[in-house]
């Protein structure tokens, strides 16, 4: 992934409906637009295209959880490497990052054109995962040892289709 698309825009496409979701968790709002009855090919140019119920929410959630497991493993290894000889495992501080669940997209209250509801719900689910990823990255970036391994910048949302 190049620097230009490190934080790509996701296009949630359902027939003639397109919702754009930003993957940069530092932005105030994840949504940058929604369109109906416009040329889908023009609206999705340069974006990552997903469709409702295509498994993207599950893939992103699983990829985030894999990253959490890696962060915890690296943190634990770093602590063990710097611990006093004979230190007990219980004295090492844990990296607290909760497991990320697949968002419940049926729970959000929708009002609008019924044709846009499926895409909107899926976009809401992606936006929730972007927010959770931002929280995880914020926690990671507060740990200097993890910054040494993974960098100081917010990493791109994992699990996006190529």
Task: Give the HSE-up count for residue 50: Cα atoms under 13 Å, Cβ half-sphere.
Answer: 30
Looking at the domain assignment, is residue 161 inside a domain?
no
Tokens of 48: 């990552």
pLDDT of 87: 62
pLDDT value of residue 89: 56
Q: What are phi and psi of 71, to 5 degrees?
A: -60, -45
Confidence (pLDDT) at 2 = 36
Phi/psi at 33 (5° precision): 160, 155
On whether residue 1 sits in a domain, the answer given is no
Range of the domain at 93: 7-150
- The answer to whether position 95 is within a domain reads yes
Model confidence pLDDT, tens digit, residues 12-63: 999 999 999 999 999 988 887 889 989 999 999 999 999 999 999 999 999 9
Amino acid 71: pLDDT? 97
pLDDT at residue 124 above 70?
A: yes
- Mean pLDDT over 70-77 rounds to 94
CB 22, CB 9: distance < 8 Å: yes
Total domains, the chain: 1
Structure tokens at 102: 């697949």
- Whether 155 maps to a domain, the answer reads no
Euclidean distance between CA atoms 157 and 142, whole angstroms: 18
The whole-number average pLDDT for the span 124-128 is 96
pLDDT of amino acid 138 = 95
Confidence at residue 83, expressed as pLDDT on a 0 to 100 scale: 74
> Would you say residue 62 lies in a domain?
yes
Query: So what's the pLDDT on residue 17?
Result: 94
- Write phi, then psi, for 115 (nearest 5 degrees): -65, -25
Residue 156 included in any domain: no
Question: Are 137 and 155 a contacting pair, CB within 8 Å?
Answer: yes
Do the domain assignments include residue 75? yes
pLDDT tens digits, residue range 74-106? 999 998 888 777 666 555 678 899 999 999 999
Task: Among 79-93, 103-117, 121-135, name the most confident range.
Answer: 121-135
Q: Which residue has the higher pLDDT, 85 or 66?
A: 66
The answer to whether position 78 is within a domain reads yes
The whole-angstrom separation of Cα 153 and Cα 132 is 16
The predicted pLDDT at position 91 comes to 56
């Amino acid at each position: 992934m190049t620097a230009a698309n490190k934080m790509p825009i996701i296009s949630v496409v359902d027939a003639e409906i397109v919702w754009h979701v930003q993957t940069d968790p530092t932005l105030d709002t994840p949504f940058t637009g929604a369109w109906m009855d416009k040329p889908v090919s023009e609206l999705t140019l340069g974006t990552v295209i997903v469709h409702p119920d295509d498994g993207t929410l599950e893939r992103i959630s699983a990829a985030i959880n894999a990253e959490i497991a890696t962060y915890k493993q690296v943190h634990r290894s770093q602590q063990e490497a710097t611990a006093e000889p004979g230190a007990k495992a219980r004295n090492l501080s844990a990296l607290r990052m909760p497991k990320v669940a697949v968002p419940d997209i049926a729970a959000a209250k929708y009002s609008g054109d019924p044709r846009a509801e499926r895409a909107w719900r899926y976009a809401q689910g992606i936006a929730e995962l972007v927010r959770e990823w931002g929280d995880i990255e914020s926690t990671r970036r507060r740990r200097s040892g993890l910054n040494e391994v993974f960098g100081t910048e917010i990493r791109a949302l994992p699990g996006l289709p190529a």
